Amino acid sequence: MKRGYTESPSASVGPPQSRFKQNPEGDAHFLEDESTKIFTRKVADHYSARTNQTLEEREASPIIHLKKLNNWIKSVLIQLHARRGDAALDLACGKGGDLIKWDKAKIGYYVGVDIAEGSIEDCRTRYNGDADHHQRRKKFTFPARLLCGDCYETRLDKVLATDAPFDICSCQVSALANISALLRPGGTLVGTMPDANVIIKKLRKAEGLVFGNSVYWIRFDEEFSEKKFKSSSPFGIKYKFHLEDAVDCPEWIVPFHVFKSLAEEYDLELVFAKNSHEFVHEYLKKPEYIELMRRLGALGDGNQDQSTLSEDEWEAAHLYLAFVLRKRGQPDRTQANSRRDRGQMHISKEDIMSINSI
């Protein structure tokens, strides 16, 4: 398929993590055991080890257009839902790759949380403007705080009690209990996650238990050789996911209806969920987002740069969906932004709060 600005392409989302654990009471929070800890450590080490790439290294990535497309999707979600002055919570903020998007949305306060020490340190230098490749940038306009720790296992509602409520939360991990506790009524959660439907369909089409292409592969264990999954036991369907130059981790299938009903338990109502392909089809009809796509370059710049997503990146894009949830209740706009005082305009290493032991 040829892609460009003349037709309406479809496409993707970047590489989020999904990890759901059901505890015996039937909810899905704050459950920790040894294997979870080991997994968590693996994830943190994997992301910490990924150094900040130079612009040249980044452009040489085999999934550069997929990454750019992911950026576009997140930018559209943030532009659609963040408002001037909002307090934003960026769960699994990584190296702060979305800081510029939040700045463009003119938010008033930012809190970033990530489990990977190396990533949060990169986020700090990026925010301060002292990361080499970001030196050209002016300072961000909002005060910020950074926390390092596991957003599943930590009672963020306690740690961030004086920063909350947040108006908007972005997340690439499914820490619903924490998010719900921290969002104000009417507040928004925007995110991306693997699309379980697409993954299971691809598994069923595949000859064996592995499928993929030159940029990704997914492998299910032998225990799933029948490729049948009971809707009565939707948890524990584990697979190994490899996305070239991005992810190499175990993940768990999160059926969207399960995610939706868990979200409802936490007072988060679904506004929309769209596979990335559908998302691109819909928002690439709007002039402002066409222009944004041109600038971010996932499909080339429409002029000299004729490069675009490869077929394989496009297929990998299909593995993700974008969603928006809203916290039930009437917004209380009188809760002023006093929590901004908790943030700083320059963050030193000592300011990064470690929340693992809390």
Ligand X SMILES: C[S@@+](CC[C@H](N)C(=O)[O-])C[C@H]1O[C@@H](n2cnc3c(N)ncnc32)[C@H](O)[C@@H]1O
Distance CA 259, CA 268 (A): 10
Using the structure block, give the residue that is written with the tokens 């917004």: 331
- For ligand X, how many residues bind (rule: CB under 6 A)? 23
Q: How many CB atoms lie within 10 A of CB 305?
A: 11
10, 12, 17, 75: which one contacts ligand X (CB under 6 A)? 17
Residues of this chain, 299-328, that bind ligand X according to CB under 6 A: none
Give min distance, CB of 225 to ligand X, in A.
29
Using the structure block, give the residue that is written with the tokens 């130059």: 245
The window from 29-37, 39-47, 182-190, 285-293 that contacts ligand X (CB under 6 A) reads: 39-47
Residue 240: enclosing H or E segment and its boundaries?
strand 238-243
Residues of this chain, 157-176, that bind ligand X according to CB under 6 A: 172-173
Return the CA Rg of the chain.
Answer: 20
Residue 101, classed as helix, strand or coil, is: helix
Nearer to ligand X, 94 or 212 (CB): 94
Distance CA 6, CA 320 (A): 24
Give min distance, CB of 153 to ligand X, in A.
7
Distance CA 43, CA 241 (A): 12
The window from 43-51, 208-216, 222-230, 301-309 that contacts ligand X (CB under 6 A) reads: 43-51
Residues of this chain, 228-247, that bind ligand X according to CB under 6 A: none
Considering only CA atoms, which of 141, 11, 127 is closest in space to residue 76? 11
Nearer to ligand X, 61 or 337 (CB): 61
Give min distance, CB of 7 to ligand X, in A.
27
Nearer to ligand X, 175 or 309 (CB): 175
Question: For residue 354, which phi and psi values (nearest 5 degrees)?
Answer: -85, 125
Nearer to ligand X, 173 or 179 (CB): 173
Question: For residue 150, which phi and psi values (nearest 5 degrees)?
Answer: -85, 120
Give min distance, CB of 290 to ligand X, in A.
22
The window from 24-32, 92-100, 214-222, 234-242 that contacts ligand X (CB under 6 A) reads: 92-100
Residues of this chain, 100-159, that bind ligand X according to CB under 6 A: 113-116, 119, 150-152
Question: For residue 136, which phi and psi values (nearest 5 degrees)?
Answer: -70, -20
Contact criterion met (CB below 8 Å) for 194 and 319? yes
98, 163, 244, 251: which one contacts ligand X (CB under 6 A)? 98
Give min distance, CB of 203 to ligand X, in A.
22
Nearer to ligand X, 75 or 310 (CB): 75
Give the β-pairing of 320-327 and 183-194: antiparallel
Residue 273, classed as helix, strand or coil, is: strand
Residue of minimal CB distance from ligand X? 94
In 21-69, at which residue ranges do the beta strands (DSSP E only) sit?
Answer: none
Q: Is 276 in the site for ligand X (CB under 6 A)?
A: no
11, 13, 28, 43: which one contacts ligand X (CB under 6 A)? 43
Distance CA 239, CA 349 (A): 36
Which residues of this chain interact with ligand X, rule CB under 6 A?
A: 14-17, 40, 43-44, 47, 92-94, 97-98, 113-116, 119, 150-152, 172-173
